[in-house]
Amino acid sequence: MGSITYYDLRHVTGQITHIDIDNGIFESAGTTFFNKAVLRVISNTGWGVLQIDNYQPRTGKKFDELLQKACTLSSITQEKVNLGDVSRGALAVPVMKEDPRSVSIEEKSAILAEIEKGAIHPSVVNRRANYIERIEQVEFSDSSGNEYAYEMCRSGFNVLAVASRNGNTQMGYEREHSIHGFNLRHHQDLGKKAADIAVALLDAKGAHGGKMKAILDPELAGVFAHEAVGHASEGDLIQEGNSVLKGKTGQKIGNELLTIVDDPGIHEFGFDPIDAEGVAVRRTEIIKNGIVNAFLHNRESLAAVGNGMAGHARGMPGEPPLVRMSNTFIEAGDATDSEIFEECKNGIFLKGSRGGQVDPGRGVFQFNAEYGYLVKNGECTGMVRDVSISGDILTTLHNIALCGNNRKMSPGYCGKGGQSVPVSDGAPTVLLCDAVVGGSGMD
């Protein structure tokens, strides 16, 4: 095994507790357990990776056998992998205000049921509420003697209300997820909010498609930052030649009031105390005053591409880490909401999101708003539903005309390469000119 130049082992054990209430019925509730590890080796050329379910820590000869297995796998690799030099050190995991483990599942169920009951309304035909709590114990060690261990708990809930009238079916969906501990208490209003939105959407109209001014609320503008810029700045995609931002460092691609950041170190839902390669996490300013400034990297893409910072490697338990976003946001500007609506004058105000998608090589992205309002003379008027916006990474950012002073982060999950990781996105309210809005409204 003399040819092994690097290895690391990331072992995650944990438990997931869930509660599912559907129209007042406790469909399921309980706890499941998992134990997964991933061992990565570089020998001669590229990576040999072992993904192991039910990993039992081992040392000496038994560990060497695993290294040898991974080494054998790497023998088919053809590309020499180099790892960039990085900073070390872990942040403290924030102390939870209330540890969910100290609350019985019966009490959790009772509180969730109150939230679900909040969605009762004569026009609501289905209510559903889910609670999820995921506790992970992470242990990492590598061939350079770096070691760390930490425990993270993420918990939260979703509540869905479906309203129906004369064959028209609409939904309202609210969610809260947190790294700060048990967060079910004092949210009974969110069931009602989901119901109110679902019912209001029964009378909303489909938007007319076309180019217009769009005001994006902080949640939606956060999804915009994630899709329009975040993915295309991931170092592995740059390395593969699959991003329009490749070679664009130092170029202006947006309005100078625009700064977009990814920071795994802030205490939002995408927080990591240290990344999945044992690298210290840091704030990376992807776009600074409209200029492409830095890419998100793992150690491999840092060495291959440069222009950015490592510390952005993340992986699901047992999966090899990829370059991922964590907490991605547009920095706040100084515009007030009334200035933004005044400047918009006529257009559309869009709220909430079911997510989006990007083709980073082509530079085209799409993201969706749950609902919105037509803006006429600077005032919100009729409600519209199911509006999407598509854009072009290299041109759309120039059209951000105003950034509000009210940045807010929203939790979610992001998928890439078959792996889903917790993230948060955020922004202030943003005014986007010449937005390409998709909608099938015809009247």
Q: Binding other proteins by CB under 8 A: which of 1, 3, 5, 28?
A: 28
Distances (CA, A) of 263 to 137, 243, 260, 268, 312: 22, 21, 10, 9, 9
The reply on whether position 436 binds other proteins by CB under 8 A is: yes
Which 282-341 positions form the footprint of other proteins (CB under 8 A)?
318, 320
Q: Binding other proteins by CB under 8 A: which of 34, 63, 150, 373?
A: 34
- Are 116 and 128 in contact, with CB atoms under 8 Å apart? yes
Q: Binding other proteins by CB under 8 A: which of 167, 186, 250, 338?
A: 167
The Cα 232–Cα 237 span in angstroms is: 7
The reply on whether position 144 binds other proteins by CB under 8 A is: no
Per-residue binding letters, 224-263, with other proteins (x by CB under 8 A)? ------------x--xxxx-x-------------------
- For residue 54, with 0-12 CB atoms within 10 Å meaning exposed, 13-18 middle and 19 or more buried, which class applies? exposed
In whole angstroms, the minimum distance from the beta carbon of 438 to other proteins comes to 3
The Cα 172–Cα 201 span in angstroms is: 8
In whole angstroms, the minimum distance from the beta carbon of 313 to other proteins comes to 13
Tokens representing 300? 């491999």
- Binding-residue total with other proteins (CB under 8 A): 87
CB closer to other proteins out of 26 and 149: 26
Q: Binding other proteins by CB under 8 A: which of 2, 32, 59, 443?
A: 32
CB closer to other proteins out of 74 and 410: 74
Which 338-397 positions form the footprint of other proteins (CB under 8 A)?
353-359, 361-368, 385-388, 390, 392
In whole angstroms, the minimum distance from the beta carbon of 95 to other proteins comes to 28
Tokens representing 323? 């370059």
Complete DSSP assignment for 308-358: EES--EE--TTS--EE--SEEEEPP-SB-HHHHHHHH-SEEEEE--SEEEE
Total residue length of the chain: 443
Which 97-136 positions form the footprint of other proteins (CB under 8 A)?
105-106, 109, 125-126, 128
The Cα 77–Cα 68 span in angstroms is: 15
CB closer to other proteins out of 259 and 399: 399
The Cα 443–Cα 440 span in angstroms is: 10
Which 393-422 positions form the footprint of other proteins (CB under 8 A)?
none
